[in-house]
A and B are shown apart, each in its own frame.
Chain A
Amino acid sequence: MTSSVYSDGATSVLLCGVGGQGTILAADILAKTVCASGDVVKLSEIHGMAQRGGSVTTDVRFGKYVNSMVCCQGSCDAILAFETTEALRNISYLRDGGMLIVNDQSIKPLPVLTGDSVMPEEPESQLRAYGGKLIPAQDIAQKTGSIKTANVVLLGALSTSLLYEQRVWEEQISASVPKGTEAMNIAAFRAGRAFVQNIHD
């Protein structure tokens, strides 16, 4: 039996990315889906200075009972990464056998833009070596309506591994996204699900 830092039996999902990518909205939809399905949730996010284009993480823990609101090293059942460098940065949070879902986008941080640092070499193959599933979320989102729904594509990819019903997910997406974009977001969600299901097949 592997050791655990938690005794509450809850599931831990870490969402990570770059400020402005829609991680907070995605985490909110996940949390609301959990609640609407009858489970409890705790979601912890960081605001303020950390948001100005910096690395962002949102911790979501859920199940029948939840103590801690934070994710720990070696303890996440899933990491949903919106960007490849951030996936690598947070890899230490993944538990042995945990699921790693990564948007295949790489965003250069300011030190790289100014030539003071370099991006990691072949991040995608590094991530695959950790068992990561690379999702072309931007491409999928573009095809289903708008590149802005890439975060919902990624949620779709995550959703296939959680026990909550597709109907509940879609109700919560409709209730959370801007008015008029409901159908587009649900299409993005379904495309994300289908993409992962095809990998499995």
Chain B
Amino acid sequence: MHANRYLLKLNIICMQRYSLTCTAVRSPEQHHFERGHMELLSGNQAIAQGAWEAGCQIGVAYPGTPSTETMETFAKLPDVYAEWAPNEKVAVEVGAGASAAGTRVLATMKHVGVNVAADPLFTLAYTGVGGGMLILTADDPGMHSSQNEQDNHFYARAAHIPMLEPSDSQEAHDMAKVAFELSERFDLPFFIRSTVRISHAKSPVEVGERENFTPKQYKKNPAKWVMMPAFAIGRRASLDQRVDAVTAWADETPLNRIVPGDGSDDGDIGVICTGAIYQYVRDALPEARILKLGVTWPLPKLKIQNFAFGVKHLYVVEEASTYLSEQVRALGIKLDQPENPLPRDGELDPWAIQIAFGKRVPTHTDTPEDLPARPPALCAGCPHRPVFRELGRLHAIVVGDIGCYTLGALPPLSAMDTTLCMGASVSMGHGFELALHHTEHRPIVSVIGDSTFGHSGLESLLGTVYNSGIGTICILDNRTTAMTGQQGDMFNGITLQHRPTRELNMAQVVRALGVDDVEEINPNNIKAVREALQRATKADDRLSVLIFRSPCVQLKDSFVRQKPLHVDEEKCTTCGVCVSIGCPALSSDLDSGIAHIDEVQCVGCKQCQQYCAFHAIKED
């Protein structure tokens, strides 16, 4: 039982007094584990550790919240190779090659990354694997850091990829560890699905030793690996057999288990749930008998049917989705509805579950209504700021993309018209031009970051060039994948394990793709930004690419902080222009209107100084 396992862990800590260390800062030399060693790990760290213990040798990923730390942790473990791929499709394909060649492979991505990787994934279920292959899909219910709330359970079912689903870090570790052998046994890649509350929640994990996995011998076998129709037809039939086998296993495995209620009215209420929701149901409905699913595709049909027979009222509790309830109903099982409907969107918690089941929840003080919002903002000194400020002045239609710079959509810059998905700025900008070409329209400007450009902007640009598209594309090259935590990318010459590589010349790459009008600009020079944008957007006969290059202020190695600036109060006319650029280091006095610079936050970028027509912002 779950409780016993925790008590066991507790005893281990009490008896042996193992100290807690953090994997993220542990050097390979320090990396020797004893049996029973406990560590406080996030779900992401635990998945990396579990994969490592299973003898997984190769890791490939594109960073994306909430998945990122998984590959960062894996990369620091001994005797592994790990790399950032330009995007999730490439990551899965590199992984597929390594798996076919016989090694165990981990590929990690956020939920929307699976969309990008869907093409290889669907057919990977046909080919199956050589060495075991595990793919992390880190979903983001509540959309803390994502553009949608998609539920990737549906991918498991659609692509025929079995899905494991942990409820805490220990299970994340244990499932990752067992997944590779399962993948090999059933000749299928496996998913492990986490959510923010698993990936970014820390709890104690009993870590173990590394299994000595000998890579399998690669043998040429076109009937398995060449998915042309003649062979794919055969693998399709094989897939059905493999799915049957894994479905039978799902009914046997203790990963799907029944957890009895507290005895107060056992047998009355039954709940089917998975992941973090299992923990919430344990808290909110202690009387409920729970069918805790550790495998959410394929579902354990017999277990579900037997569980349904054993309870008077059967519920599915799931988060921002109808996947599980639809699947259970498809088995011909009638589900009861809670007294009040569960929320259709956003994250659940025990409180929301108690409300739904008509329980009395604790009273609470209401949050005062007049509080100012505290949205995230571009950092003080962010090199993206002047570009958005100037695009706003141009009244451009700004076709945006995914990254820190998406914050350019928020006031006071408010300079973004669309954001859809990674790489869409360039291709959507082309679409805007096609639709508005014969009408009088505001200038159309696509804005994309360096990492996003490497992810999928390159293909979009290729399409625009090939089709003789026109317009302006701004590449905001801050030399990093900033929002996810300053990872290396295809252009900046920094690899995940600090192996040597080459820094790419962005302008050369863009020219090589067939763009003639390419200009590199320092975005901290306001005049240069304004002139470049004016020139590019005035031209209506060509495609212009403006590369705004300046390092992210969070980059400790390449960003050089300057002395903070200050306001000469005698010269400040209280016009408010400096404050309107939206720098968190700048404010104006509520009564006098005089501007003020916060010395702690100011990095001395001098952007505000260039906007002050009265020379009131000084360097010393």
Residues of chain A touching chain B, judged by Cβ–Cβ distance below 8 Å, are: 2-8, 18-19, 28, 31-32, 35-36, 38-55, 64-70, 72-75, 85-86, 88-96, 108-120, 126, 130, 175
Contact = CB atoms under 8 A, between A and B. Distances in A.
A110 B601 CA distance: 13
B405 to A, nearest CB: 11
A55 B3 CA distance: 34
A6 B203 contact: no
A74 B373 contact: no
Interface residues of B, number: 74
A72 B350 contact: yes
Interface of B: 3, 6-7, 9-10, 13-14, 19-20, 38, 40, 65-66, 68, 144-145, 168, 196-197, 200-204, 262, 276, 279-280, 282-284, 286, 347, 349-351, 354, 359-368, 370-379, 404, 406-407, 411-412, 483-485, 576, 579-580, 582, 584, 586-588, 590
A41 B484 contact: no
The dominant DSSP class at the B interface is loop
Contacts of A118: 372, 590
A66 B40 CA distance: 14
A49 B9 contact: no
Nearest to B585: A113
B259 to A, nearest CB: 11
B584 A110 contact: yes
A85 B379 contact: no
Contact of B364 (A4, A40, A89, A93): A93
B368 A113 contact: no
A44 B69 CA distance: 14
A48 B144 CA distance: 8
B203 A46 contact: no
B66 to A, nearest CB: 7
Contact of B368 (A2, A8, A67, A126): A126
A41 B6 contact: no
Given A32-B40, A96-B363, A52 B377 contact: yes
23 contacts: A5-B349, A7-B282, A18-B374, A31-B40, A35-B13, A35-B38, A36-B19, A40-B10, A41-B203, A49-B376, A50-B376, A53-B376, A53-B377, A67-B279, A69-B279, A85-B371, A85-B372, A109-B372, A109-B375, A111-B411, A114-B582, A115-B588, A130-B365
A85 B373 CA distance: 10
Nearest to B366: A92
Contacts of B368: 88, 91, 120, 126
A199 to B, nearest CB: 22
Contacts of B351: 5, 72-75
B38 A68 contact: no
B283 A69 contact: no
Nearest to A53: B377
Contacts of B145: 46-50
B3 A65 contact: yes
Given A40-B204, A48-B483, A73-B351, A120 B586 contact: no
Given A38-B14, A52-B376, A88-B371, A47 B66 contact: yes
Contact of A113 (B6, B366, B586): B586
Given A18-B374, A69-B279, A92 B364 contact: yes
